[in-house]
């Protein structure tokens, strides 16, 4: 296929260029080997560049480089052309040129069209969902940011999969860095600081809420498959073929974060991913044995007990729990899970923690066994050395981790390394760790590569990619696979900030009738959390929280005052309009009075008894009562309409329209006059006539004026 000497993957191939042809990129997702990948890419050139004359391998080589960023050997392209000519996918054309056969061309165009349609449907639905939560975000910038992030995410996914296949592949450091750092950088390029959190949450939701959209799961899965197929061109075809045709037996050591997913102590998406993965291994009889290390048993048990003790020290009103879940990345998984349950229905801490104290029983149905590692002086020394290296590694990346967690990670890593064979790639070495901790993965990969050995850790997305050729296609599988791309990365919090948020929440919970809105805003305040991290004593910590609380309450009072002022102004305007209408009513009443008097006199003259009988009925006061009710109800409906479009339903189209004020006045007038005419029969003709004119003016406002020449 290609020259498989060591290449710098960031230069060869250029994934960013390839990803711009997203529809074509998706089309290579279902290829089964490296030859098929290359053949598919060659054929795509004819579809994307239908006017270009292709007569030689050199022409196609240049097109592949331009469109997909791949530097191929000319002989490889020549072999691909020969294969395609033999299959009659390519046919000779007059003038020494070659082109796609009509049938293949139609087939490829259909596939690309379907891929574009899938992308457009995913885009529209996602942006519509985001607009409900964050209507102020610019949709074009948001989609551009998502595309940029997808490029980074799937480039890294493809590269990491290649490292699993070929540990000797040289990869530029920046393409195995944290995705969260890349996402933050992308968002800052498109959005200002005020919109940063909303944009971050929106892009995170693209993955975290993937089960709300079947098309999105399919879209993400195809992109991941395409990335893997694309980067498979950089390794030996024999390695890729082996991966796609046969799995070697493996011992899978499940990390604590993965087990917590099975126990529902993580987010719902991680629960779905974890359970779907272990169920698929069992369902399809894959040659994997599932274990958890005895150090993992101790860590999981101690974590549950520790958080149970912390939560049990206080009372947690539901409003405080609702504030906590508004920013899930600010809390540990177990703590967050408690607040999620408490927000739904009040629950005591002990009632929540109690089922998990013997969590080993809860996972028995998944056939996950404990692995008890033997110890020796030599192995303990190796663990100690690994712990020192890991601490230095985390320090360089400014990532905080508790000492107990470091000890656990290195105990499991040392055990797995001791179990591995001398195989040339990770998947044949006999044992691996499945973890959602990207820092642990990166540390292992960097250390293993220095020693010329395959890595020992994989992320869930890697394991899903490995399993795809061996698992019957299903909607649940695609959804779980898509969700793996969100698990380890979408967090804005470091350890210090998480501890600060947790301590602050416990203080807020101690206040009686504390406003949920204020708690939510304080938890979302990154500057406040940064300041709290530096406080050494409880007094300093409480002083900062109290100061921030006072500012938030004052700010909330100002907001309430502003709303009251705006409402008073609106009521004053309505009162003025009401007075004008009453003046009109009085004028109309004076006009009608002589006619009513004449009618009464005439009746008395014609038939005096009838006049006497009719007297007690008093129709005039009844009409006055109806007019008063009509005025009151009409104005109330108009006020409710105005408040609804501004505060409750947020009619964005009307509020942002160029003629917003005129349209609002028109709609309000039509509503007012219609109800008045409906309730007061004597005014009906007048009100509905004026209402018809108002409606016509409103329609004209909607039509706008003539298009001005540029």
**Mind listing the pLDDT tens digit for each residue in 530-559?**
788 777 788 888 888 888 888 877 776 776
Q: Copy the structure tokens of residue 178.
A: 């944290």
Residue 76 lies in a domain: yes
Q: How far is CA 19 from CA 92, 143, 163, 293, 453, in A?
A: 30, 14, 20, 40, 31
Mean pLDDT throughout 251-273? Answer: 85
DSSP state of 91: E
Measured distance between the N- and C-terminal CA atoms of the chain, rounded to whole angstroms: 55
Residue 445 lies in a domain: no
Residue bearing tokens 């406003």: 515
Among 245, 266, 281, give the residue marking a domain's end.
Answer: 245
The larger pLDDT score, comparing residue 634 to residue 96, is at 96
pLDDT at 367 over 80: yes
pLDDT value for 349: 93
Q: Copy the structure tokens of residue 206.
A: 């693209």
Residue 691 lies in a domain: yes
pLDDT value for 492: 41
pLDDT value for 339: 92
Mean pLDDT throughout 294-301? Answer: 96
Q: Copy the structure tokens of residue 702.
A: 């909607």
The Cα 563–Cα 316 span in angstroms is: 31
The larger pLDDT score, comparing residue 320 to residue 468, is at 320
DSSP state of 354: G
Query: Which of these, 546, 545, 565, lies nearest to 557 by C-alpha position?
Result: 565
pLDDT at 106 over 70: yes
- Residues 408 and 299: beta-carbon distance below 8 Å: yes
Residues paired with residue 368 on neighbouring β-strands, in sequence order: 290
Residue 674 lies in a domain: yes
Q: Copy the structure tokens of residue 373.
A: 């590692």
The DSSP H or E segment spanning 710 is: none
Q: How far is CA 233 from CA 56, 226, 246, in A?
A: 21, 12, 19
The larger pLDDT score, comparing residue 501 to residue 709, is at 501
* Backbone φ, ψ for residue 603 (5° rounding): -65, -40
The Cα 179–Cα 200 span in angstroms is: 12
Q: Copy the structure tokens of residue 387.
A: 């712990």
Which among 94-103, 207-216, 593-602 has the top mean pLDDT? 94-103
- Residues 39 and 87: beta-carbon distance below 8 Å: no
Q: How far is CA 363 from CA 262, 290, 300, 579, in A?
A: 7, 11, 13, 73
Measured from the Cβ of residue 680, the count of other Cβ atoms closer than 10 Å reads: 21
- Residues 682 and 630: beta-carbon distance below 8 Å: no
pLDDT at 3 over 70: no
Measured from the Cβ of residue 230, the count of other Cβ atoms closer than 10 Å reads: 26
pLDDT value for 101: 93
User: Which residues, other chains included, contact 435 with Cβ-Cβ below 8 Å and sequence gap of 6+?
Assistant: 255, 257, 258, 441, 457, 458, 459
Residue 211 lies in a domain: yes
pLDDT value for 5: 39
The larger pLDDT score, comparing residue 173 to residue 639, is at 639
Mean pLDDT throughout 447-467? Answer: 83
* Backbone φ, ψ for residue 99 (5° rounding): -155, 175
Among 245, 278, 306, give the residue marking a domain's end.
Answer: 245
Among positive and negative, which fits the CA dihedral 523, 527, 529, 531? negative
The Cα 329–Cα 526 span in angstroms is: 12
pLDDT at 209 over 80: no
Residue bearing tokens 């069209």: 113
The DSSP H or E segment spanning 508 is: helix 495-510
pLDDT value for 368: 95
Residue 472 lies in a domain: no
Mean pLDDT throughout 143-169? Answer: 79
**How many domains does the chain divide into?**
2
Q: How far is CA 616 from CA 597, 604, 613, 620, in A?
A: 16, 14, 7, 11
Mean pLDDT throughout 483-490? Answer: 55
Residues paired with residue 253 on neighbouring β-strands, in sequence order: 291, 433
Q: How far is CA 426 from CA 235, 457, 513, in A?
A: 14, 8, 55
Which among 322-336, 380-394, 447-461, 608-622 has the top mean pLDDT? 380-394
Mean pLDDT throughout 593-603? Answer: 48
H-type alpha helices, 607-708: 608-614, 619-643, 652-656, 660-679, 684-703
Among 245, 263, 294, give the residue marking a domain's end.
Answer: 245
Query: Which of these, 126, 282, 217, lies nearest to 475 by C-alpha position?
Result: 217
Mean pLDDT throughout 370-386? Answer: 93
pLDDT value for 432: 92
Mean pLDDT throughout 330-345? Answer: 88
Alpha carbon 103 to chain centroid distance?
40
* Backbone φ, ψ for residue 458 (5° rounding): -140, 150
The Cα 68–Cα 334 span in angstroms is: 44
pLDDT at 225 over 60: yes
- Which parts of 453-513 are beta strand (E)? 457-458
pLDDT at 10 over 50: no
Q: What does the CA dihedral 213, 484, 274, 436 come to, rounded to 10 degrees?
A: -150
Mean pLDDT throughout 79-96? Answer: 91
Mean pLDDT throughout 200-211? Answer: 82
- Residues 677 and 691: beta-carbon distance below 8 Å: yes
- Residues 286 and 251: beta-carbon distance below 8 Å: no
pLDDT at 674 over 50: yes
The Cα 471–Cα 144 span in angstroms is: 33
* Backbone φ, ψ for residue 534 (5° rounding): -85, -5
The Cα 119–Cα 124 span in angstroms is: 9
Q: Which domain holds residue 698?
A: 618-710
pLDDT value for 130: 92
The DSSP H or E segment spanning 434 is: strand 431-434
User: Which residues, other chains included, contact 410 with Cβ-Cβ below 8 Å and sequence gap of 6+?
Assistant: 383, 386, 387, 390
pLDDT value for 670: 81
pLDDT value for 663: 75
Instruction: Quickly count helices (H) and strands (E) in the chain.
Output: 32, 7
Number of residues in the chain = 710
Residue 318 lies in a domain: no
Strands 97-100 and 90-93: antiparallel
Percentage of residues of the chain with pLDDT beyond 70? 79
pLDDT value for 624: 47
pLDDT value for 50: 84
Residue 495 lies in a domain: no
pLDDT at 20 over 60: no
């Amino acid at each position: 296929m290609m020259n498989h000497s060591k290449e710098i993957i960031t230069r060869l191939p250029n994934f960013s260029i390839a990803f711009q042809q997203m529809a074509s990129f998706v089309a290579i997702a279902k290829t089964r080997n490296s030859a098929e990948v290359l053949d598919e890419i060659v054929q795509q050139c004819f579809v994307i560049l239908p006017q270009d004359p292709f007569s030689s391998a050199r022409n196609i080589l240049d097109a592949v480089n331009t469109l997909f960023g791949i530097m191929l050997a000319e002989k490889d392209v020549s072999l691909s052309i020969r294969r395609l000519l033999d299959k009659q996918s390519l046919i000779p054309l007059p003038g020494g040129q070659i082109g796609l056969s009509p049938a293949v061309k139609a087939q490829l165009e259909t596939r690309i069209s379907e891929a574009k349609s899938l992308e457009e449907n995913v885009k529209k639905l996602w942006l519509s969902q985001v607009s409900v939560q964050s209507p102020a975000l610019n949709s074009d910038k948001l989609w551009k940011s998502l595309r940029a992030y997808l490029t980074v995410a799937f480039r890294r996914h493809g590269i990491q999969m290649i490292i699993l296949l070929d540990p000797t592949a040289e990869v530029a450091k920046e393409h195995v860095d944290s995705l969260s750092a890349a996402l933050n950088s992308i968002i800052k390029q498109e959005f200002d600081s005020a919109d940063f959190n909303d944009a971050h949450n929106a892009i995170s939701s693209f993955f975290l809420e993937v089960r709300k959209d079947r098309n999105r799961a399919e879209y993400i899965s195809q992109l991941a498959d395409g990335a893997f197929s694309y980067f498979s061109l950089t390794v030996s075809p024999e390695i890729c073929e082996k991966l796609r045709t046969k799995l070697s037996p493996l011992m899978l050591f499940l990390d604590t974060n993965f087990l917590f997913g099975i126990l529902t102590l993580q987010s719902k998406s991680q629960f779905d991913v974890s359970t779907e993965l272990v169920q698929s291994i069992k369902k399809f009889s894959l040659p994997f044995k599932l274990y958890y290390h005895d150090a993992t048993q101790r860590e999981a048990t101690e974590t549950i007990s520790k958080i149970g003790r912390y939560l049990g020290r206080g009372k947690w009103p539901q409003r405080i729990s609702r504030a906590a879940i508004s920013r899930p990345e600010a809390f540990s998984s177990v703590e967050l899970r408690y607040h999620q349950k408490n927000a739904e229905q009040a629950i005591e801490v002990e009632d929540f923690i109690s089922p998990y104290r013997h969590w080993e029983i809860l996972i028995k149905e998944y056939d996950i066994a404990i692995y008890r590692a033997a110890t020796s002086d030599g192995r303990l020394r190796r663990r100690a050395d690994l712990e020192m290296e890991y601490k230095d590694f985390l320090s360089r990346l400014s990532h905080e981790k508790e000492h107990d967690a470091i000890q656990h990670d290195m105990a499991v890593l040392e055990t797995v390394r001791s179990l591995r064979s001398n195989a040339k790639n990770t998947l044949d070495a006999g044992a691996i760790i499945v973890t959602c901790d990207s820092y642990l993965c990166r540390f292992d990969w960097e250390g293993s590569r220095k020693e010329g050995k395959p890595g020992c850790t994989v992320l869930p997305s890697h394991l899903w990619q490995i399993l795809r050729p061996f698992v019957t296609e299903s909607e649940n599988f695609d959804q779980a696979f898509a969700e793996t791309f969100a698990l380890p990365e979408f967090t804005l919090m470091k350890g210090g900030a998480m501890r600060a948020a947790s301590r602050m929440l416990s203080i807020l919970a101690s206040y009686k009738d504390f406003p949920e809105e204020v708690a939510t805003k304080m938890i979302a305040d990154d500057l406040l959390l940064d300041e709290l991290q530096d406080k050494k004593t409880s007094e300093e910590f409480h002083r900062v929280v109290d100061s921030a609380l006072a500012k938030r309450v004052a700010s909330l009072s100002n907001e309430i005052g502003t709303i009251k002022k705006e409402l008073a102004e609106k009521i004053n305007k309505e009162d003025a309009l009401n007075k004008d209408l009453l003046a009109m009513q009085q004028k109309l009443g004076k006009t009608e009075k002589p006619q009513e008097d004449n009618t009464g006199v005439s009746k008395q003259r014609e038939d005096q008894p009838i006049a006497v009988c009719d007297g007690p009925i008093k129709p005039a006061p009844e009409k006055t009562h109806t007019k008063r009710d009509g005025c009151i109800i009409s104005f109330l409906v108009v006020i409710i309409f105005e408040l609804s479009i501004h505060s409750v339903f947020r009619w964005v189209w009307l509020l942002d329209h160029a003629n917003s004020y005129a349209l609002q006045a028109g709609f309000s007038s039509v509503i007012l006059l219609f109800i008045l005419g409906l309730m007061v029969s004597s005014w009906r003709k007048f009100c509905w006539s004026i209402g018809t004119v108002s409606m016509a003016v409103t329609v004209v406002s909607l039509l706008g004026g003539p298009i001005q020449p540029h």
